[in-house]
Structures are given as structure tokens and as C-alpha cells.
Amino acid sequence: MKIKVGMAKINKYAMQHCGDSFDIIERPYGGLSAVIADGQGNGLAAHHTSSWVVNKAASLIADGARDGAVARAVHDYLYAMKDKKVSCTLTLLSADLESETVVISRNSNCPTIVKTDEYLTIYDDEVSPIGVNRHMKPLVYELPFAPGMIVVSFTDGIAHAGKKYDGASMDMKKILAIIEDNAPEDCDFIAKSILEYALSLDKDKAGDDMTVVVMGIAEATADAPKIEQLSASYPF
């Protein structure tokens, strides 16, 4: 099998800096983790917050910390550094080769969607963001690897798309249709399609920072060379 990760992101309209941050980290015993953070507010201050949170989480994952412990530790740092006055949502998506599971750690008001050949589940239990409530804890879900698995997470710019326009609001059924009509190999396409759908609801002027991250577990030819690949596009 192989792990695929796709991401699509756009700043809030007319803002120079994006308040969302994202990174991919190779896990110490094999596999990948995707970290998504959305800092409180917009602009440079939110960018600094989310970037700091993502970098701290990436460092802890690389050091071997488990995802739930990573979320707690990053919360404690943010809580202390910002004097419990700044919040940030944080989602970790991990494909862990040691346990052969996908681990989802949520401190976000947005759902995480999991689709396999056998089922489709939306994890949207209420949970606090990090940085403000002293006794915060993440919601952690652990699922066994399954070929064909697709995991999708996004920030609230996607969830709230279209709200400032009459008659337009994000339809979860359309997002689910994009996921169901594509395969794990199409992670980049799924992420971009969901973002483009949300952006269309905002008349191509994003009402908030938008980030979509998609992780897939796909079949791979057993004797194929194990070539790792990563691509990025950064418009300016």
C-alpha cells in the first residue's frame, strides 16, 4: 500500500497572509502525519499563531510523541505563551506504519470525514480549540488501514463558505459526492475540488482562510520501486 496526501489552501480575500498553516511530517517508525492549524482571527497575527503551532507539533511528532500527547503539549505551550488569550484549531491526520492505523486527533470545530470501501463516517463531535481552556483534551480516533481509505479535513473557511450570501451555504452532500467519486490516488484533485466548490459559494472572494487536506491509503504494486514523491505549488 501507499500513503497519499493532498492539500489546497487560499487566503481570505484581500488578505496578504493566511491564518491557516499546514505541514507534512515523516513519522519516526514510518508513515506520514499531516498537521492543520487555524489561528484565531486573520492576517499576520493568525499566521504567526498557526505557523508556530504547526512547527511545534511537527517537531514533537518527529521526536516520537504520540498524536494525543502532541496536541496536549502544543496546547500547553500556546496557553502559556499567549497567556490563555489566543485560540487555535488543530487537527492531526496520521498514517502510522508501526501500528498500521490511521490516527485522527481533533481540536477543531470542523468535521473530519473518513470514507472506505465499507463505510463513510463523519467525525464532528464537539471539542474545544487549543490555547484557551486549561483542561483541554483532543478527540482521538484510531482506524485500521484499509485500501481505498480517504480521510478529509478542512478549516472553517470551507465550513462557513457562502454564509454572507443569500441562498448560498456549504452543502456537505456535495463534499461527500466529491470524495465518493474519486480514489485515494486522487488526493490532490479531491482537495482542490472541495476548495473550488467552497470558493464558488463565496463568489471567488474567500470570506475566510480556507484549507483542505486529504489523506489516502491506496493499493501499490508489490514489486514496484518504493519512490517517495512530494510536490508543492506556491503562487505569489
Is residue 224 assigned to a domain?
A: no
Buried/exposed code over 34-51 (b: 16+ C-beta within 10 A; e: otherwise):
bbbbbbbebbeebbebbb
- Give the percent of the chain with pLDDT over 90: 86
Non-local CB neighbours of 227 within 8 Å, separated by 6+ positions: none
Is residue 228 assigned to a domain?
A: no
pTM for this predicted structure: 0.94
Is residue 227 assigned to a domain?
A: no
pLDDT digits (tens, 9 = 90+) for 131-159: 999 989 999 999 999 989 999 999 999 99
135 against 88, higher pLDDT:
88
Non-local CB neighbours of 182 within 8 Å, separated by 6+ positions: 150, 189, 190, 193
pLDDT digits (tens, 9 = 90+) for 22-43: 999 999 999 999 999 999 999 9
Is residue 233 assigned to a domain?
A: no
Confidence of residue 5 (pLDDT cuts 50, 70, 90): very high
Read off the C-alpha cell for 86.
489566543
Widest Cα–Cα separation across the chain: 54
3 state SS of 87:
coil
Confidence of residue 91 (pLDDT cuts 50, 70, 90): very high
Q: What angle do CA 52, 154, 47 make, to 5 degrees?
A: 25
Is residue 204 assigned to a domain?
A: yes
> CATH no. for residue 195?
3.60.40.10
Confidence of residue 232 (pLDDT cuts 50, 70, 90): confident
Predicted confidence at residue 213, as pLDDT, reads 98
Domains of the chain: total? 1
Say yes or no to pLDDT of 219 above 90.
no
- pLDDT (mean) for 38-57: 96
Is residue 164 assigned to a domain?
A: yes
Predicted confidence at residue 164, as pLDDT, reads 83
Is residue 36 assigned to a domain?
A: yes
For residue 147, the enclosing domain spans: 2-218
d(CA 114, CA 179): 9
3 state SS of 189:
helix
Is residue 88 assigned to a domain?
A: yes
Say yes or no to pLDDT of 236 above 90.
no
Predicted confidence at residue 168, as pLDDT, reads 78
d(CA 161, CA 150): 22
Say yes or no to pLDDT of 90 above 90.
yes
Helix, strand, coil % over all residues of the chain, rounded to 5: 30, 30, 40
